[in-house]
Amino acid sequence: MAQDKPRKKVSRRKFLVRAGLGTVGVMAIGTYVFRNPIRREVLEMAETLVPPYSGSGTSANLWFEVLEDNRVRLHSPKVEMGQGAFTGLAQIAADELDVAPGQIEVVAAATDSGVVDAMSTGGSLSIASLWQPLREMAATMREMLKNEAAKQLGADAGSLSTREGIVFSGEGSLTYAEIAAAATEWELPEVPELRAAAQYQYVGKPVQRVDLAPKVFGSPIFGLDAELPGMLHASIIRPEAVGAQLKSLDSKAAADMPGVVKIVELENAVGVVAESYPQALAACRKVKVEWDVPKRWAEEDIRSLLQVGKGDKMVTQKAGKAVSEEDGAVVSLSFTSPIGAHAQLEPNGALAHVEEGKATVVLSTQVVGITRNQVAEALGMKPEQVNVVPTYLGGGFGRRLNTAHAIEAALLSRAVGKPVKYMFTRQEEFQHDTFRPPTHHIVKARLGEDGLLDALEHHYASGDVAIGSLIMPSALHQVLGTDIGAMRGGNIMYDNIPNRRAVQWHTSLPFATSWWRSLGLLANTFAIESMVDEMAMRSGQHPADFRLAHISEEGAGARIKAVIREAVEKAGYSDEVQNGRAMGLAASIDTNSPCAHVVEVSVEAGEIKVHKVTCVLDCGLAVNPDQVRAQCEGSILMGMSAAMHEKMTLHKGELQPTIYGPYQMALMRHAPKEINVYLLQGAEVPLPVGEPPLGPIAAAIGNAVRRLTGQRLTDLPLRMG
Amino acid sequence: MKIAFTINGRAQSVEIEDGNTPLLWVIRDQLNLKGTKFGCGKAACGACTILVDGEAVRCCSYAAKLAEGKQITTIEGLGTRAQPHPVQQAWIEEVVPQCGYCQPGFIMATAALLEKNPAPTDEDIDNNIVNVCRCGTYYRMRKAIHRAAALQAQQVAVNPKNQ
């Protein structure tokens, strides 16, 4: 990959004023973005790992509206799924626009606004990817308002100042709303110079989340809260066994159930539309469906398919020589991770209304533009005939990077000629998730005479993560030949080890596997960092010193070393078991954000308990330090949950369990009583934060258990043997 | 059948076809109070927690007919933006929510806990607050629960009638 090319400046945009929004006193500002989106995505991702905001090419992109009450509405191309993006975006815009963050109302852009992100909300990139274009647009808009105010006030634009949504001159002042209301045409200035860090008023401050009140007082902000007049409700029957095909359908008894409007055969599924949701559920139980199940998959089948040495092989990292099988000095350990469910609290669903020549779909989705295109294709419409309205998401975690169920809601709506709200049941969620694939790892290590590693190899097998997904340009797979999602965290960051290998083995499984927060990072880091800690012990060295000795100052090396040093210092790391507790250290770097955790663990009655986590993350510029901390805390809890509790299994062809409880997850009683997060800001721009802190958590816990009990745990979820 | 109850301080009567319909759907779809969430339909996650005569109830698995004559409180009736309930106030001060979907259920479960136990210990919290949060806001929630207890104690001290 080319590392030396400077990032292309996102520019060449024109602003335009859109009329006819149907609101009096509104100024709408948008942009045209001229470029070839796909080509650019591929290049920029390869170069920076930060894909840019990519507009929809030639249509008008509505970003800002100045409202009558002098607030500014920002149509965000990224959705809010808990990550705090709306708050950070409001802060970023506020600093260039000279308004208070509280004056900015952030809404998720519906596709008819023209702000259609051709990629997704994911990869922890909402803030990182919009940092530059959003500031450019906000600054340009501020200058447009000033220029227009200069005309209206008869003043020199250079003499004007702006503050909290007001333009001041010696002669008087005008609010942005007053300026916008009186403007008839706008001059389009060059993108002005952006403000320097010292001038930020809001960026870098722990501004309170903009979505606190609706979330604390129960406002109807989520996909499943949406309603339309005359709306009907739907549930869908899907196969319970993996690979099952619809054989026969008898819906007579169900059709007579109260409230049932229509029963519709869909692609390998049956939709039941009724006047109420309970009626739809009741009718589903009366539908007689037979399925062909060509094979009843078992857990062992998956384990034998998914192994290092099987599937498509790709060397993802190579330095020095490979270790030999016969080399008696090589330590080899095998690790596994299970199938993981997303288990986001808001079930999937969609409210669709298909009318003559147009369709509206309201839903929680991370892929707004893709969902629009999918629905349009299924309905035989043009994309611009379909308006996808994204809501707040009741959790994303990668699950909503595939919201093809919007198609089913649209087909059901078309079949009954009314708006239809379709909701997954929880069983459907668990059986038809796009799971985190299981993994298998073999890690090999050899100590040299100096007590340091002279060889480390990570061989890892995974199901699909990025491959098969709609959001990755397929060209990227051909270029790289590997599953770049499974690869996350798979390469070895210890560049001072002379002989290093990372080898991916990819196998597509018989059920859908895809993006799950942090992708391969959690399991890959578990394997590598468990082994590194094991070798530090065998070498009789301090685990931090041992790690530091294997990292150069090159590239991100200095930043990785800094988080490790800071973590052991802040945690007061000790190798000694004290009061029945031991500490564990692990570190990783993901999307250029290095992170280290030190955990304090005890084992009581065979149960591992995490008491304290010290987390150090280098997140670059922290736009909102409090929300970066919240992402660290959340990543730690979600990572702990996956590392210590969660596991889906295949039993007689069915993915189980299908309900919370049996699908064990971290609850309040499992949460550490102490989580201390320290942020290093080793870059002037914001770096991804929503996933990197997931990386080291499983290994840190495993390493602590090893130091406490002598047992090296190699399988997730971590259970005492 | 017709059932009558009081919800958020208002007398309410609703017509339902089947008395066994979960109360959740009456609240969400008939009364259009969308703050109470559907999470699992099997009382396993707590997203639908409401108060029925002051007790925390997971109403996705609570037959609507059982609501007859009861006092029901949902998140919409707990407090207002102008006068938040101490639990809501504490939630805001600790900046607890991330995605926010499970939060009304946690807030209602906490309100019920504080009614019975105005100063819960960490162990009390562990044993009583057993809803599921996928974003992992537990750490802040625990702080918020202790803060809410303190806020409630202050209110009682200022105005003992509130007790």
Answer whether residue A1 shows pLDDT above 80: no
| Nearest residue on chain A to B50, alpha-carbon basis | A218
**Distance from first CA to last CA of chain B, Å, rounded?**
37
In a domain, A208, yes or no: yes
Task: Report the alpha-carbon distance of residue A578 to residue A401 in Å, rounded.
Answer: 45
Does residue B84 sit at the A interface (CB-CB below 8 Å)?
Answer: yes
Q: B72 Cβ partners below 8 Å, 6+ apart?
A: B5, B6, B7, B8, B23, B27, B50, B51, B52
Instruction: Indicate whether B13 and B61 sit together in one domain.
Output: yes
How near does any CA of chain B get to the CA of A619, in Å? 19
Give the range of the structural domain holding residue B107, as residue numbers without chain letter. 79-162
Does residue A362 sit at the B interface (CB-CB below 8 Å)?
Answer: no
Three-class SS state of A275: coil
How many C-beta neighbours within 10 Å does residue A79 have? 26
A347 near A660, Cβ under 8 Å? no
* Nearest beta carbon to residue B136 from set A209, A212, A637: A637
Answer whether residue A26 shows pLDDT above 70: no
Instruction: Indicate whether A204 and A313 sit together in one domain.
Output: no
> DSSP E strands: which ranges in A303-433?
312-319, 331-337, 349-355, 358-363, 386-390, 420-423
Calculate ∠ Cα A458-A683-A619, nearest 5°. Answer: 60
Count A/B contacts: CB-CB distance under 8 Å.
180
Instruction: Indicate whether A438 and A412 sit together in one domain.
Output: no
Task: Report the alpha-carbon distance of residue A306 to residue A303 in Å, rounded.
Answer: 5
Three-class SS state of A278: helix
Domains identified in chain A, total number: 3
Sheet of B71-73: strand order equals B10-15, B2-7, B71-73, B49-52, B55-58
Instruction: Indicate whether B71 and B132 sit together in one domain.
Output: no
Instruction: Indicate whether A374 and A452 sit together in one domain.
Output: no
Q: A487 Cβ partners below 8 Å, 6+ apart?
A: A316, A504, A520
Record: contact A211-B100, CB cut-off 8 A = yes
Instruction: Indicate whether B84 and B154 sit together in one domain.
Output: yes
Does residue A392 sit at the B interface (CB-CB below 8 Å)?
Answer: yes
Instruction: Indicate whether A199 and A91 sit together in one domain.
Output: yes
Instruction: Indicate whether A124 and A233 sit together in one domain.
Output: no
Q: What is the pLDDT of residues A612-621, one digit of tens each?
A: 999 999 999 9
Which token pair is A618?
């280098």
User: Any idea what the CATH number is for the domain that residue A182 is in?
Assistant: 3.30.365.10
In a domain, A714, yes or no: no
Q: State the pLDDT confidence band at A24, using cuts at 50, 70 and 90.
A: very low
Last residue of one domain, picked from the residues A167, A182, A217:
A217
Instruction: Indicate whether B83 and B151 sit together in one domain.
Output: yes
Instruction: Indicate whether B89 and B30 sit together in one domain.
Output: no
Percent above pLDDT 70 for chain B: 98
Residue A270: its H or E element: strand A269-274
Last residue of one domain, picked from the residues B46, B62, B77:
B77
Q: A428 Cβ partners below 8 Å, 6+ apart?
A: A236, A238, A347
Q: What is the pLDDT of residues B15-61, one digit of tens each?
A: 999 999 999 999 999 999 999 999 999 999 999 999 999 999 999 99
Which token pair is A558?
């200095």
At residue A42, the pLDDT reads 38
User: Any idea what the CATH number is for the domain that residue B53 is in?
Assistant: 3.10.20.30
Q: A506 Cβ partners below 8 Å, 6+ apart?
A: A311, A312, A314, A461, A462, A463, A464, A467, A482, A483, A486
In a domain, A395, yes or no: yes
B17 chain-A contacts, CB cut-off 8 A = 258-259
Task: Report the alpha-carbon distance of residue A582 to residue A603 in Å, rounded.
Answer: 9
Instruction: Indicate whether B100 and B129 sit together in one domain.
Output: yes
Q: Which residue of A79, A86, A216 to mutate against B (max B Cβ within 10 Å)?
A: A216
Q: What distances in angstroms separate CA A270 from CA A245, A282, A333, A414, one per listed residue? A: 12, 14, 46, 15
Of A191 and A88, more confident: A88
Q: Which residue of B27, B98, B103 to mutate against A (max A Cβ within 10 Å)?
A: B98
A225 residue type, one letter: D
Instruction: Indicate whether B83 and B66 sit together in one domain.
Output: no
Task: Report the alpha-carbon distance of residue B101 to residue A397 in Å, rounded.
Answer: 14
Record: contact B97-A82, CB cut-off 8 A = yes
In a domain, A717, yes or no: no
Report the complex ipTM. Answer: 0.97
Last residue of one domain, picked from the residues A167, A188, A217:
A217
In a domain, A387, yes or no: yes
Q: What is the pLDDT of residues A539-593, one digit of tens each?
A: 999 999 999 999 999 999 999 999 999 999 999 999 999 999 999 999 999 999 9
Q: State the pLDDT confidence band at A62, using cuts at 50, 70 and 90.
A: low
Q: What is the pLDDT of residues A294-353, one digit of tens each?
A: 999 999 999 999 999 999 999 999 999 999 989 999 999 999 999 999 999 999 999 999
Burial of A328 (0-12, 13-18, 19+ CB in 10 A): exposed
Q: A30 Cβ partners below 8 Å, 6+ apart?
A: A15, A16, A18, A60, A61, A62, A63, A64, A114, A115
Q: B160 Cβ partners below 8 Å, 6+ apart?
A: none
B91 chain-A contacts, CB cut-off 8 A = 212, 216
Instruction: Indicate whether B66 and B84 sit together in one domain.
Output: no
B133 chain-A contacts, CB cut-off 8 A = 345
In a domain, A360, yes or no: yes
Does residue B13 sit at the A interface (CB-CB below 8 Å)?
Answer: no
Does residue A215 sit at the B interface (CB-CB below 8 Å)?
Answer: yes
Assess whether the previous peptide bond of B104 is cis (omega < 30° from 0).
no
Task: Report the alpha-carbon distance of residue A193 to residue A545 in Å, rounded.
Answer: 44
Domains identified in chain B, total number: 2
**Chain B neighbours among A 131-160 (CB < 8 Å)?**
none
How near does any CA of chain A get to the CA of B88, in Å? 6
How near does any CA of chain A get to the CA of B121, in Å? 12
How near does any CA of chain A get to the CA of B148, in Å? 13
Last residue of one domain, picked from the residues A191, A217, A243:
A217
Task: Report the alpha-carbon distance of residue A545 to residue A536 in Å, rounded.
Answer: 9
Instruction: Indicate whether B44 and B118 sit together in one domain.
Output: no
Instruction: Indicate whether A405 and A441 sit together in one domain.
Output: no
A392 chain-B contacts, CB cut-off 8 A = 99-100
Record: contact B130-A394, CB cut-off 8 A = no
A193 near A186, Cβ under 8 Å? no
In a domain, A8, yes or no: no
What's the count of helices (H) and strands (E) in chain B, helices before strands?
6, 5
| B87 closest CA partner among B116, B117, B114 | B114
Q: What is the pLDDT of residues A110-149, one digit of tens each?
A: 998 877 777 789 888 899 988 988 898 888 889 889 998 9
User: Any idea what the CATH number is for the domain that residue B136 is in?
Assistant: 1.10.150.120
B102 near B130, Cβ under 8 Å? no
Instruction: Indicate whether B113 and B47 sit together in one domain.
Output: no
Record: contact B141-A668, CB cut-off 8 A = yes
How near does any CA of chain A get to the CA of B156, in Å? 22
Instruction: Indicate whether A160 and A305 sit together in one domain.
Output: no
Instruction: Indicate whether B57 and B72 sit together in one domain.
Output: yes
Of A4-8, A301-305, A624-628, B115-119, the one with minimum mean pLDDT is A4-8
Record: contact B139-A638, CB cut-off 8 A = no
Across residues A427-456, what is the average pLDDT? 98
Record: contact A634-B29, CB cut-off 8 A = no
Last residue of one domain, picked from the residues B31, B60, B77:
B77
**Chain B neighbours among A 397-426 (CB < 8 Å)?**
397, 423, 425-426
| A616 closest CA partner among A593, A595, A630, A585 | A595
SS3 content of chain A, % helix, strand, coil (to 5): 30, 25, 40
At residue A183, the pLDDT reads 80
Please, how many CA atoms are within 13 Å of residue A650, restricted to the half-sphere of its CB?
Answer: 23
| Nearest residue on chain B to A661, alpha-carbon basis | B44
At residue A123, the pLDDT reads 87
Last residue of one domain, picked from the residues B22, B45, B77:
B77
Instruction: Indicate whether A492 and A641 sit together in one domain.
Output: yes
B104 near B35, Cβ under 8 Å? yes
| Nearest residue on chain A to B77, alpha-carbon basis | A217
Give the range of the structural domain holding residue A396, as residue numbers without chain letter. 223-293+348-423
Answer whether residue A430 shows pLDDT above 50: yes
Instruction: Indicate whether A450 and A514 sit together in one domain.
Output: yes
Record: contact B136-A635, CB cut-off 8 A = yes
Instruction: Indicate whether A274 and A330 sit together in one domain.
Output: no
Task: Report the alpha-carbon distance of residue A615 to residue A668 in Å, rounded.
Answer: 19
**Distance from first CA to last CA of chain A, Å, rounded?**
44
A393 chain-B contacts, CB cut-off 8 A = 99
Instruction: Indicate whether B64 and B84 sit together in one domain.
Output: no
Record: contact B138-A668, CB cut-off 8 A = yes
Task: Report the alpha-carbon distance of residue A1 to residue A48 in Å, rounded.
Answer: 10
In a domain, A584, yes or no: yes
Instruction: Indicate whether A361 and A478 sit together in one domain.
Output: no
Of A119-123, A199-203, A636-640, B93-97, the one with minimum mean pLDDT is A119-123
Across residues A700-721, what is the average pLDDT? 97
Q: A448 Cβ partners below 8 Å, 6+ apart?
A: A454
Assess whether the previous peptide bond of A688 is cis (omega < 30° from 0).
no
Instruction: Indicate whether A523 and A596 sit together in one domain.
Output: yes
Does residue B85 sit at the A interface (CB-CB below 8 Å)?
Answer: no
